[in-house]
Structure 1
Amino acid sequence: MSELTTIARPYAKAAFDFAVEQSVNDKSAVEKWTEMLKFLTALVENEQMEAFLVSSLSSQKVADTVISICGEQLDQYGQNLIRLMAENKRLSAIPAVFSEFTRYVEEHQAIAEVQVTSAQPLNATQIEKIAAAMEKRLARKVKVNCNVDDSLIAGVIIRTEDFVIDGSSRGQLDRLANELQ
């Protein structure tokens, strides 16, 4: 199984990166790729198709047959993927490609929880700026949860699962005190 995953990962990553790039113009590109790969997985897992894929036919003939069976289910980019995988004798790895692609989609769509503790209540503009900066840093969508702690004196503390950014006056005073000791 791990061999199939190793084979599938570059195809899945390339398809995912391409779908995300296309999502700039077409918001449903990732969904289209998910549907194409899901359909291809069902097709390749068919007993008769499994036997056909390991037949001694040329890779061009195998690719053309799979593409003709899929019909409208594949766009030109999906057809290119089929041709490439057929040329490399990797069509049997499509279920693993779909599995890896799905994992990339789930990671991409994950929403990070960001806790923002401030000395004073933040306005909407400040929250939006923090959210934009954290989305850029984390490379995913964020959900900002705000609370107020007047013991901070001024500034904010931003926490997420992986790290803490302490921009509070209390944090700066604590760091200064540690350096002076």
Structure 2
Amino acid sequence: MSELTTVARPYARAAFEFANENNNIDTWYEMLVFASAIVENPTMAEILKSDRAKQEIGKLFIEVCSDQLDKNAQNLINVMVENGRLTALPTVTALFYDLVIKNKKEIDVNVVSAYVLSKKQKTELIAALEKRLALKVNINCSIDKTLITGMMITAGDLVIDSTAKSQLNRLFNTLQS
């Protein structure tokens, strides 16, 4: 997975920078999502694994995408085909989305708690997360009674687990060592 991310990152960054310079981020994201769905199609996945010539695969892919991709997106697809990286397109799309979120300077945070958070608790949590992440926080709360107490906060790659189970596991590991 990390190897695929390493391969996809330069393509995502180049696409994002181009889209940002041309004030076309939303359109680019839509094109990438569409093209990623084509890559993930089982029939297309078989074609991408085949021994067909790169130009043939690129031409076929562009034909399948029809007029859903503009010339610049088609160029990106052709470069990825040429380098044998088209299977990384879904990861490129995910990384592109991450760049969009960072550019907007906001992040979606999922909070799973044992009980309903009060308005005051939500406000304090948002303020603390905004300070820590240096981004505007959009909070999504849900309840999981099996947690007993505490909460699990997920924001992109960041996970803060203050659930009872997590605390007991840390205590157990400390006592074991």
For Structure 1 versus Structure 2, the TM-score category normalised by the shorter chain is 0.5 to 0.7
Distance in 1 (CA, whole Å) between partners of 2:106 and 2:89 is 28
Q: Check if 1:106 corresponds to 2:104.
A: no
Q: How does 1:77-156 map to 2 (within 5 A)?
A: 77-111=72-106
The one-letter code of the counterpart of 1:20 is N
Please tell me whether Structure 1 or Structure 2 has the larger radius of gyration of its CA atoms.
1
Match of 2:25 in 1: 30
Q: Percent sequence identity over matched residues?
A: 45
- Amino acid across the alignment from 2:81: A
Offset of residue 161 of structure 1: 3.6
Residue equivalent to 1:56: 51
Q: Kindly provide the CA deviation profile for residues 9-47 of structure 1, in whole angstroms up to 9, marking residues without a partner as x.
A: 000000000000001xxxxx1011000000011111111
Cross-structure match for 1:21:
21
CA distance in 1, matches of 2:76, 2:52: 18
- Which of residues 25, 36, 40 is equivalent to 2:35? 40
Q: Deviations over 1:62-115 (max 9, x none)?
A: 010000000111000010001000000000000000000000000001259xxx
TM-score, normalised via structure 1 length: 0.58
Superposition RMSD in Å: 1.5
1:54 Cα deviation from its structure 2 partner: 1.2
Q: 5+ residue gaps in structure 1? A: 24-28, 113-159, 163-181
CA distance in 1, matches of 2:26, 2:97: 10
CA distance in 2, matches of 1:88, 1:50: 16
Q: Which runs of 5+ in 2 are unaligned?
A: 108-129, 133-177
CA distance in 1, matches of 2:81, 2:21: 24
Could you give the per-residue CA deviations for residues 100-134 of structure 1, whole angstroms, max 9, x where no partner exists?
A: 0000000001259xxxxxxxxxxxxxxxxxxxxxx
Structure 2 residue 12 is the aligned partner of structure 1 residue 8: no
- Equivalents in 2 of 1:9, 1:111: separation in Å? 20
TM-score, normalization by structure 2 = 0.60
Opposite residue 22 of structure 2, the aligned amino acid is Q
Structure 1 segments, 4+ long, off by >4 Å, are none
Aligned partner of residue 84 in structure 2, secondary structure: coil
